[in-house]
Amino acid sequence: MTSRSIVVVSAGLSQPSSTRLLADRLAVATVEDLRGRGATSDVQVIELRDHARDLVDHLLTGFPSPKLRAAIDHVLGADALIAVTPIFNASYSGLFKLFFDVLERDSLSGLPVLIGATGGTARHSLALDHAVRPLFAYLNAGVVPTAVYAASSDWGQDTAAEPALADRIDRAARELAGAVITHDPRDRADPFASPTPFEDLLRTVREG
Binding-site ranges for other proteins (CB under 8 A): 56-57, 60-63, 65-66, 191-192, 195-199, 201-206, 208
Cβ contacts of residue 45 below 8 Å, gap of 6+? 7, 8, 10, 20, 23, 24, 27
If one counts every other C-beta atom within 10 angstroms of the C-beta of residue 76, the result is: 15
| Of the candidates 185, 179, 186, 184, the residue with the CA atom closest to the CA atom of residue 37 | 179
Cα distance between residue 117 and residue 97, in whole Å: 13
The least CB distance from residue 51 to other proteins, in Å, is: 13
* 156 versus 208: smaller Cβ distance to other proteins: 208
Cα distance between residue 172 and residue 180, in whole Å: 12
The least CB distance from residue 52 to other proteins, in Å, is: 13
* 73 versus 162: smaller Cβ distance to other proteins: 73
Q: How many helices (H) and strands (E) does the chain have?
A: 8, 7
The least CB distance from residue 104 to other proteins, in Å, is: 9
The least CB distance from residue 99 to other proteins, in Å, is: 17
If one counts every other C-beta atom within 10 angstroms of the C-beta of residue 80, the result is: 25
* 63 versus 187: smaller Cβ distance to other proteins: 63
Cα distance between residue 31 and residue 174, in whole Å: 10
* 161 versus 189: smaller Cβ distance to other proteins: 189
* 98 versus 172: smaller Cβ distance to other proteins: 98
The least CB distance from residue 135 to other proteins, in Å, is: 22
